[in-house]
Amino acid sequence: MALGGADNIARSPELTSKLLWTLGLLCCYRLGVHIPVPGIDASALAHFFESAAGTLFGLFDMFSGGGLKNVSVFALGVMPYISSSIIIQLLQVISPDLKRMAREEGQAGRRKITQYTRYGTVLITLLQGLGIAIGLESMHSPLNDPVVLQPGWTFRLVTMLTLTAGTICIMWLGEQITERGIGNGISLIIFSGIIVGIPGAFLHSLQLIKAGDMNILVAILLLLFMLAVTAGVVFVERAQRRVPIQYAKRQIGRKLYGGQTTHLPLRVNTAGVIPPIFASSLLLFPATLANLSTADWLKRVSAWFAPSTVGYNLIFIALIFFFCYFYTAIVFDTKDVSENLKKSGGFIPGIRPGERTAEYLDGVLSRLTLWGGVYISVISVLPMFLISQFNVPFYFGGTSILIMVGVAMDFMSQIESYLISRQYEGLMGKTRVKGRA
């Protein structure tokens, strides 16, 4: 990236300030991950998680940035906020008022949608906090030591309020990163939680090799495989279908305008990293509560939702496809695009403007989304296969690689766009000065 080098960043004080804001707020998030909820026996909890290694706890702990393992104030991570966002977006499809508010009322409407999402986050966090508190009270280490020192409603209320406050704090940090820093705050928080776990995952893998539980040849092959997956993710994330656009010639006075040919880029994976994150958020919490409880029927449910089971992966893939199509329909409205092309005198060669163009774009986008869903599904089920076959940490799985690469590429593209816009504004400023002279 020519404009994204260190020299260009250093010459932009405003961008440097945004990057420092982003780094500082992420550091605040990482500090909160290590603050435990009151009333927990840390030793018994550590022993319990050692016995639960390789289950859904590992995947949930990865998304919470390590906060679940020590039941910190940030134990729930951003999952309640994501769940609330899913509910609000689904309601926009059902409710005409919410749909009008999101699309027609501009900034004021989006502000109301954000407010509803926050209220939903608080409600979901309170319910999840109560469930986790009850589950913690029933947990014992392999030595039969209770995890909660003094169970009861006092502990439950304190845990509910603490986890709710932590989630609200994470939500606020994410919004501040988006507003004052650079990049999407929530995505960067998930990204940072995965990144900080990679060194520990490497050490765990080395310990497995030293203990003889993992063959060094298998470890080398897995490393090469992960590099190949990373290269594949970068390739597909940059892949796009370019739909040709032709602009009609218009004569205004004696001058002839238009007539140029351009293209409309349609990404293969329009939804980005949203489908696996949304699908995981819907699957992880019910299964985690089942793992925390001692009830027999919940244990059976937990067994059905084990990461290595066929049922879990089938539901996971179905949810990925659903959110691929759902989120693509939200971010790319083919009717609006066709109307805008018609108003500006643009058309797709061989396709009539208006409704026919919308149908054509919808068909192209549907086929691309199908292949995008296949790609995300294949990448996302890799963690389950690796863990069940080779005892590999979750951090080396396809879901984590997809999130890390996707968020990193989006972050760098935003830096590049920022530098380009500032360079353009500088050139325009010089032109205005010369014009006044």
Mean pLDDT across the stretch 324-348? Answer: 83
Residue with tokens 């509560």: 289
Supply the pLDDT for residue 349. 85
Give me the percent of the chain exceeding a pLDDT of 90: 2
Dist CA 281 CA 346 (whole Å):
41
How many angstroms separate the CA atoms of 362 and 210, rounded? 54
Rg for the chain, CA atoms, rounded: 25
pLDDT at 303: 65
Q: What is the largest CA-CA distance in the chain?
A: 90
Average pLDDT of the chain, as a whole number: 77
Mean pLDDT on 26-32? 87
Q: What is the pLDDT of residue 138?
A: 74
DSSP structure class, residue 249:
P
Residue 394 confidence (pLDDT): 55
381, amino acid identity: V
Cα separation, 22 vs 183, in Å, equals 8
Give the Cα separation of 420 and 415 in Å (integer): 9
What are the CA-CA distances from residue 47 to residues 42, 60, 234, 283, 314 (Å)? 9, 17, 39, 25, 32
- pLDDT beyond 60 at 1: no
Question: Sheet of 346-347: strands edge to edge?
Answer: 261-267, 240-247, 346-347
pLDDT on residue 370: 92
Token couple for 150: 């003094």
**Out of 209-213, 282-286, 349-353, 388-392, which region has the weakest mean confidence (pLDDT)?**
388-392
Going by pLDDT thresholds of 50, 70 and 90, the confidence category of residue 109 is: confident
* pLDDT at residue 97, as a whole number: 78
Q: Is the pLDDT of residue 326 over 80?
A: yes
Contact 292, 139 (CB under 8 A): yes
Task: Show the DSSP H helices in 307-397 as ranges.
Answer: 310-331, 334-343, 355-390
Structure tokens at 138: 């029933």
Task: Return the higher-pLDDT residue of 70 and 358.
Answer: 358
Whole-model pTM over 0.85: no
pLDDT of residue 433: 43
| Whole-number percent of the chain with pLDDT over 70 | 73
- Give the pLDDT confidence score for residue 434 in this predicted structure: 45
Q: Is the pLDDT of residue 2 over 50?
A: no
Highest mean pLDDT among 21-35, 275-289, 300-314, 334-348: 21-35
Q: What is the mean pLDDT of residues 417-430?
A: 63
* Higher pLDDT among residues 435 and 253, named by residue: 253
pLDDT digits (tens, 9 = 90+) for 221-250: 777 877 888 888 888 888 888 888 887 766
Which range is most confident: 70-74, 85-89, 320-324?
320-324
Q: How confident is the model at residue 3 (pLDDT cuts 50, 70, 90)?
A: very low
Closest alpha carbon to 234 in 4, 41, 401, 90: 401
Q: Output the six-digit token pair for 299.
A: 């244990």
The per-residue pLDDT for range 375-386, each reduced to its tens digit, is 888 887 776 666
Does 27 have pLDDT greater than 80?
yes
Measured in whole angstroms, the distance separating CA 412 from the mean position of its chain's CA atoms is 16
53 confidence band (pLDDT: 50, 70, 90): low
Residue 52: pLDDT band (50, 70, 90) is low
Tens digit of each residue's pLDDT (9 = 90 or more) over 153-206 = 888 898 889 889 988 998 899 889 888 888 888 888 888 888 887 777 778 778
Higher pLDDT residue, 199 or 289? 199
What does the pLDDT read at residue 141?
A: 66
Please tell me the predicted confidence (pLDDT) of residue 51.
56
pLDDT tier at 346 (50, 70, 90 boundaries)? Answer: confident
Q: What single-letter DSSP state applies at residue 183? A: S
Q: Which domains does the chain have, with CATH numbers?
A: 6-197+215-436 (1.10.3370.10)
CA distance 188 to 412: 12
Q: How many CB atoms lie within 10 A of CB 202?
A: 14
Q: How confident is the model at residue 435 (pLDDT cuts 50, 70, 90)?
A: very low
Q: What is the pLDDT of residue 4?
A: 43
